Chain A
């Protein structure tokens, strides 16, 4: 079987095994992406991990995506839920990859943790919480991981400015480090543009 046939077979099997949990699934650029319903994520992951003809034994990556400004420059508006959590799975025995994606609303950004299935989810979920404020239900130790102790906000959200809100300096008089509002002016050197297909001939 060729690689694309194997992917299509996998897509079919996931459709059968997960049933209603699968919202959409597509194969693009030789990669299978499956969008799942949030409530069904944990149950589906269990099947994908231990099911004999899935055997996704490694969780390669978990990351958050903030779709707030998606295609804003083309004048379009994002209508689906704002945040997505993307899981990259790998099966070393079957030599296949799979991408799972769940969307969560800004008002309740809550996903079930998969840490009991793959231990590697531990830090990846902490990172997604730190940078996007997505909560993982069932994670035993959901602390910030990359940002500073006492950091306020979730820096990778699209409405968080690149230069941040506060800067830190040593105050000679007080004899300690103080935080103050940033003094740098934000600037854009190359504007963000979306060109139509075949632009410029």
Chain B
């Protein structure tokens, strides 16, 4: 009889299904995985060390570049930690704007997850559908911050600017004539809030569209049902949070359990799975699309009727208005001090966490009283999830590893930091 040996397979780091720069060393017995050893760190940029060398506000942009598909949620945790230590109360309107953008970000993130996850296990159309909706959401990002991805919109004390009254419109070019442009601008006639409202009107039908393609699809179910099963106890022990934990049937969501900003004033539900497999986690995220849509609509309604400041008036941490600087000496000094030195944060330590689209994203901040953080630790949900890849893929086939990487919703910007 021929002797059969286990063999080692190198997967990635350039494989498209490895979602970026994951290198997996797989020990295989034929097609079956015996051990998976993820090698990470190929995208390590030492964000935490860089943050130690910069005034607080200059690191907000680095937060965007952690999980680069849910930018504003990362910023949110960082500014929450700073605000906690400074003892700042954010104006209500800014809180609603933050919550609205957190949910827009959740939809953005889940759309990219669905696109990638679908593509990985054979549903090409999903990729095209999802990117169509992402386009609108990124236009909203651009309208408020000027950047489609790395917004740097949240600041300690509020958000950078109030929502613009006018949604930017397309202009005719050599690729689009006036008639086409008029059609493209149809839902961009009003304010940004009108555009967001229009999106929320359309979006549930789009989610139905995705579900028609996948939820009862035989191939989709064959690839996801019973793959990567995690029990509730195991999920907690492995440090799972977010949809990964809820897919296993644990009803845990920081927006409900430890509400921050205005989540306790909003009406929404938390979907949970029952079997803890890839299919259940898919269903949980699909329902989160609809719940996020609900939250956005409530925020839009509130924001339409309530106006006010979006930043605190404390010029020790927030720069004064440019007009004020023209005639007010004190405003000029504040501006100068803020941009040459920044603000000092009282000595101490704080941990602030948000319900990020992927799970619990936390920032642990240690300050020694200086204008730069002494230590910033970024608790990335994907890091804990990926560390469980070995356990989840054990005994599965090689092709299932791709489904498990997809269901974990891994983004290397946050895993490697």
The chain A residues found within 8 Å of chain B, CB to CB, are: 28-29, 31, 33, 57-61, 63, 65-66, 69-71, 73-74, 86, 88, 92, 95, 97, 99, 118-120, 122-124, 144-148, 155-156, 162, 188, 190, 192-195, 197, 199-200
Contacts and interface: CB of A to CB of B under 8 A. Distances in A.
A192 B239 contact: no
A119 B252 CA distance: 19
Interface string B29-54: 00000000000110010101110011
Contact of A71 (B46, B368, B384): B368
B263 interface: no
A88 B362 contact: yes
Contacts of A31: 349-351
Given A57-B237, A193-B344, A73 B370 contact: yes
Nearest to B257: A95
A95 B370 contact: no
A88 B379 contact: yes
A162 B384 contact: no
B12 to A, nearest CB: 15
A123 to B, nearest CB: 4
Contacts of A120: 237-239, 384, 387-388
Nearest to B55: A190
Contacts of A156: 46, 48-49
B: interface residue count bin? 35 or more
Nearest to B344: A195
B206 interface: no
Interface string B380-417: 00011011100100000000000000000000000011
Contact of B364 (A86, A147, A192, A194): A86
A193 B316 CA distance: 15
Interface of B: 40-41, 44, 46, 48-50, 53-55, 58, 84-85, 233, 236-239, 241, 250, 252, 257-258, 316, 337, 340-342, 344, 346-351, 353, 360, 362, 364, 366, 368-372, 374-375, 377, 379, 383-384, 386-388, 391, 416-417
A147 B350 contact: no
B83 to A, nearest CB: 11
A33 B388 CA distance: 28
Given A70-B374, A95-B257, A193-B371, A119 B238 contact: yes
A148 B42 CA distance: 8
Contact of B371 (A59, A119, A192): A192
A148 B13 CA distance: 14
A60 to B, nearest CB: 6
A190 B344 contact: no
Contact of A33 (B49, B252, B349, B417): B349
B342 A190 contact: yes
A31 B351 CA distance: 8
B239 A146 contact: no
Contacts of A188: 53
9 contacts: A28-B349, A57-B233, A58-B237, A63-B364, A120-B388, A124-B383, A146-B44, A162-B49, A195-B344
A61 B379 contact: yes
Q: Which of B84, B375, B391 has the most CB of A within 10 A?
A: B375
